[in-house]
Amino acid sequence: MLAELSMHIIDIVQNSISAGADLIKVKIHELKDRDLLIIEVEDNGKGMDKDQINRVQDPFYTTKSFKRVGLGIPLFKQTAEHCDGSFQILSEPSKGTLIRATFKKSHVDLPPMGNLRDTILTLVVGEPNVDFVFEVETDGVVFVLDTREVKKELQDVPINHPEVVKFLREYIGENLKTMEVAS
Ligand X SMILES: Nc1ncnc2c1ncn2[C@@H]1O[C@H](COP(=O)(O)OP(=O)(O)OP(=O)(O)O)[C@@H](O)[C@H]1O
Binding site for ligand X (CB under 6 A): 11, 15-16, 19, 43, 45-48, 56, 61-64, 70-74, 97
CB of 168 vs ligand X, minimal distance in Å: 25
- Cβ neighbour number for residue 29 with a 10 Å cutoff: 17
- The residue among 16 and 119 lying less far from ligand X, judged by its C-beta, is 16
Whole-number minimum distance, CB 169 to ligand X, in Å? 27
Site string for Mg ion, 60-89 (x = CB under 5 A): ------------x-----------------
Nearest-CA neighbor of 35 among 114, 139, 111?
A: 139
Of 6, 15, 91, 97, the residue at the interface with Mg ion (CB under 5 A) is: 15
Candidates 90, 156, 123, 127; CA nearest to 6 is 123
Task: Write the DSSP symbol of residue 34.
Answer: G
Q: Where are the beta strands (DSSP E) in 93-130?
A: 96-104
Residue 36 Cβ vs ligand X, minimum distance, rounded to whole Å: 23
> Distance between CA 132 and CA 71 in Å, rounded?
24
Nearer residue to ligand X within complex by CB, 62 or 175: 62
Q: Which candidate, 27, 183, 11, 10, places its Cα nearest to that of 110?
A: 183
The residue count for binding Mg ion (CB under 5 A) is: 2
Q: Is 84 left (phi over 0), alpha (psi -120 to 50) or beta?
A: left
Distance of closest approach, residue 75 Cβ to ligand X, in angstroms: 8
Rule CB under 5 A: which residues touch Mg ion? 15, 72
